[in-house]
Structure 1
Amino acid sequence: MSNILLSCGTLLLATGAVLAYGMEQYLSLPSLLIAHAMTILGPMAIKLGYVGRLYSINRLRREGAAE
C-alpha cells in the first residue's frame, strides 16, 4: 500500500507541476485549478506513503525482536 501511495504521489506531483507551470496557457481555469491541486495532493500522498513504509519497517523489527 505504501509503495502505491509513493508511486501515485510522485506521478501526481510530476503531472501537476508540468500542467500547472509548463502548460498553463493552454488550460482552462478549472483545469489549471486541478493541476495546482495535484501539486498539493502529490506530496501529501508521498508523505503518507513514507509514513506507512516507516510504520511497516518498525512493526517488522518489533516482530523480529520478539522471536
Structure 2
Amino acid sequence: MVDETLCLHAGYTPKNSESRVVPIVQSTTYIYDSTKEIAEVFDDPMKSLIYSRFGNPTVIAVEDFRI
C-alpha cells in the first residue's frame, strides 16, 4: 500500500459486518454492569476502557499505526 492509504487504514482490521474505516468514537465514558467490574478496571487500567482521556477505540487504532 502507498503511504496515503496506510494513513487511512493501518492500525485497524475490520471483521465481517464492521465498518471499513476506523469509527470515530465520541463517547467520553463507558458503561459497566456492576461496581465490581469497574473497580477491577481501576485496579488494572489496561484491562478495559474506562475514560476517553485514558484511551478509546479510535485513539488505540491510531497508536497501533505502523508503516
- TM-score normalised by length of structure 1: 0.28
- Bigger Rg, which one: 1
More helix by proportion, 1 or 2?
1
Using the size of structure 2 for normalisation, the TM-score is 0.28
